[in-house]
Structure 1
């Protein structure tokens, strides 16, 4: 697909973020199963639910624009998922709290990728006067920020202290 206009870029990035969220959903579920801290585990379950809602919204937006949500494969998120697997799921830990600290690290890296994606899409939608799209994407961006802040609070509230 040749990207000639901002709308082309917008469509491409809707597909890319759909792929990123799909990949991060599976990884987040795996991180949740690996977590030992109850609060962290619950936050990851909530994160998975939020990612699933975001996937539904992105799929709906793609349908509105008559584009296939499966049209892109996000290599950026692929790399972040590989990092999460290497640093959490395939790593040896002598301490559960250290693993939980690493889970937060890897999860937040994936979340920050989503924040960038949603932020760009909001800006594109607003510039293209796609007000409904912009509102949907802004809500997802806000929810993603909330999840990121929650992870920071969990880290500061005890996981990092236990890991130290």
Structure 2
């Protein structure tokens, strides 16, 4: 499909962030299962739920525009997920605390990718006057940012001191 205007770009990016979320959901679930710190495990489970909730909102937006949410494959998130697998799950660690620190690092890379995607899509929706879409995307963006802040607190207050 040719991307002829901002609406075409917007819909393409909605499908792309949906693909990114789908890929990061599986990775986040695996990271949560590998985490040994209880608070980290709970935060990753909440992150998985947040990703699922975001995907439901993206499905609603796609339905409203008559497009299939699975119309794109996000190669960027594919790479970030591969890095998370390699560095946090497949790597050999001398301590669970060190693995937990790496899990946070890799999870936050996925989260930052999602923040960029949601932010761009929300900006496009605002410019296009798609107020309902913009509100849904802002909810996704805010929730994703909150998860990132929570993960920083876990890293700073618990995981990183133990890993040091």
TM-score (ref. length: structure 2)? 0.99
Runs of 4+ aligned structure 1 residues displaced above 4 Å come to: none
Corresponding residue number in structure 1 for 2:9: 9
1:68-102 alpha-carbon deviations (Å, 9 max, x no partner): 11100000000000000000111101100000000
1:1-164 map, 5 Å:
1-164=1-164
Q: Distance in 2 between matches of 1:158 and 1:71?
A: 40
Give the match's secondary structure for 1:129: coil
Q: Distance in 2 between matches of 1:162 and 1:148?
A: 20
Gaps of 5+ in 1: none
Query: What is the Cα-based RMSD across aligned positions, in Å?
Result: 0.4
Q: Shift of the alpha carbon at 1:118?
A: 0.3
Give the match's secondary structure for 2:3: coil
Q: Distance in 2 between matches of 1:14 and 1:126?
A: 14
Aligned residues: 164
TM-score (ref. length: structure 1)? 0.99
